[in-house]
Chains A and B, each alone.
Chain A
Amino acid sequence: MRLALDDLHVALAGRDVVAGVHLVAESGEIAGLIGPNGSGKSTLLRAVYRHLAPRAGRVLLDGRDLTALPRAEAARQLAALPQERGEAFELTVRQMVGLGRLPHQRAFAADSAEDREQTVRALDRVGMGGHAERRFAELSGGERQRVLLARALAQQPEVLVLDEPTNHLDIRHQVELLALLRAQRATTLVALHDLNAAASVCDRLHVLAGGTLVASGPPREVLTADLLAEVFGVRAAVTAHPLTGDPLIAFDHRTPPAA
C-alpha cells in the first residue's frame, strides 16, 4: 500500500512545525525521515498516526484520506511505534502485543482465536516467542523495542510508522531491530537519527529541516557532503561502505559546526 503526504501542515501552539510536506513511501518501500533535532520529524509522524490533527493537507493511503477514516479502521491500515515510553501498569509481554489487536476487536468480546494466533505470530516474528508471560517492565531496552514492534505487527497493518526505533539501544540491538524491519517488507516510514543506519536500511531518504523537505531520493544521491554541511552543519566525507557498498558517512568530530 502506498503512503503519500500531500501538502501536510501541522501546527503546534499556533506555529507550523511541519509546513507543506509532500512525501511518498511506495508500496513495500522503507522511507527514511532524517533531519536535525527540532526539524519536525516526530511532529510529522504524529500527524500520520493521528495523534495530531493536520492543520492542512492530507495523509493518503492508496489515495484514501486517512484522517477521514474512523480511528479503528485507520489503525487496521497503519500501525505506529511511537517514541514515548509509558508506564506499563503490570502488563505481560503477551498482553502488550495483544493490544495490537484492539482496532480489530469489539467492546466486551473476548479475544478471538484469530487474535491469539496473530499475537503469537507477531511475537515469533520478532524472536520473542519464548517470553510471552514475562512482565513487560522487566525486559531490557532491546527486548522492549522488539515487543513494541510485535504489537505494531499484530495490528496487521499495511503501513508501519516508527519514530526513532533504535534510540537508546546498543549497536547489536540496533542492527537486530533494523534487520527485523527490513524483513517485514511492509510500506514503512521511519525517522532515524543514525544517518549511516538510515543509509543502509532505507530505500529512499527524505531530509527535513525547519519543517520542510529539503531533499528526497535514494540514500546515495541524498547523502552528500554538501547536504550534511548545509542541513546538519557538520563536516563529513561520504564514501562506500567496505562491507556492503552502501554510502558510509565519516564525520569530522574535531571541527565544530560553523555558526
Chain B
Amino acid sequence: MTIRITRRATLLGGAGLAAGALAAPAVAQNTPIRLGGLTTLEGPFATGGQDAYRCVQMELERINHTVGGRRIEFIRESSNAQADVALARARKLVEQDNVDIILGPLSGAEGIALRDYSRTLTGKTIVNGSSGASDTTLRNPSPNFFRFSTDGTQWMAGLGKHVYQTMGIREVAVTAGDYAFPYAQVFGFNLEFCRLGGKVTHYWAPLGTTDFTSQIAQINRSNAGAVVVVHGGTDGLAFMTQYAQAGGNKPLVGGSIMADQTMLSARGPHRRVMVGMISGGPIADVIDDPTWNDFVARYRRRWANEGGFASPSIHAVNYSTNLYGILHALKEVNGDLSDNQAAFQRALAAAEITAPTGASVKLDHNRQAISDIFLNKIEERGNAAQVVAFDRARGINQTLGIPEARFLSLGSPSRDNPGCVATS
C-alpha cells in the first residue's frame, strides 16, 4: 500500500500546525503564574516566617489569586534562616516546582545567597521577602533581584540621633547577632551615633545563641548609658528574658526585629523591661495612617481566630510590600512573562507602590526600595504592649542620604566595620 499525500491533506496539515503554533502563546497566558514563596518556618525566625505567609495568603485571597487576567499559584517553601538551606530550597523551587518568581527570603545572609543565585538565572525573578542585609542590593547587585522593602541600615535612620540628642546618652553597649542583617542595623545606628560623638562597645553573638548571661554580666558592669539590642526571634527573647532576670535596668534601644509582635506576643518577664524601649523600623503596631489601619483590620479579621498576632509582624509587612511590587508589575504587563520576563522586570523597576503601612515605595537604580522609616516606642496600651510610631522620616534611601560613592567607600558593614566612622 502506498501513502498518497494529496495537496489538500498537506494544506490541512499545514493549517493545523500553524493553528497549533498560534494557539501556543494563548495557552501560555492562561497557565497560572507560579509564584514560589520562601520563608523561615523553621529555626529562630519560624514565628515571623509563619506570619509572613499569613499576610501573603491574605493578600492573594483578596485578589482571588488572579492578576492581569492570570491565576497565581502560590507554592510554599521553607528554610531555617541559614543561607545554604535557603539556596537549596530556592533551587528546588526553580528546578522542580518550575516557578516564575520567587518571593523571599526572610533573613539577611539568605538574601545575599539568593541574590547571587538570581544572577545565574535567566527568565526568573527573585523579589525579596524580608531580608535586610544592605549588601544584597548595594554592592554587586543582581539584575534579577528586586527589593521593595527597606534594609537594616535604612531601618535605623534617625535612631542614633535620637539616642544622642534627645535621650542625651553618650555611651552605649551594642549587643547584636553575628551575621549580615545585624551588621547592617548596627552600621546604620553607629553612622549617626558615632558621628555625633557617641562611644560604642560591641558584643556579638552567633545566631542561635540562647544563653546570654555572660554577655549581660559584662554589659551590666559597663559604663554604657543604654543597651542597643539587635537580636531577633528566640535569640532576642532569650536575651531580654535573661536581661530581666539579671535585674538589668539600663534604657533599651531596639533593633527593628526586636520591637515586634513576634517578641511582644510571647509571655514572660521580658515584656516588663521592654516597655519604653525606643526602636526604628519600617513598621509599628500603631501608625496614624488609614492604609495601615485598614491593613491591620483586615489582618485581624482574617487571622484573629487562626493564631494571628494582635498586629501584623515586621516580616509579614515586608513580604506584603514585596508582594505588592510583584502584583503591581504583573498588572502593568497583563501577566506577560514572555521574553525572559523582560517587560515584567522593567515594570518592577519602575513600580511606585504604597506599602501596607501607607509608606510610598519606589526603587533606586540598584532595584532597592526608597521608603519611609518610623521611630517607635513600646507603650503599654490597655493590657498589651504595643509599638507606637512617634516620628516618621520620609523617603529614606539606602545610603541614609550620604552620597553613594562616599557611602560605598565606608566599606561593607561587618563585625570589624560596624560604622563608627567619620562620614563628613
Question: A and B: real partners?
Answer: no
List chain B positions with a Cβ less than 8 A from chain A.
none
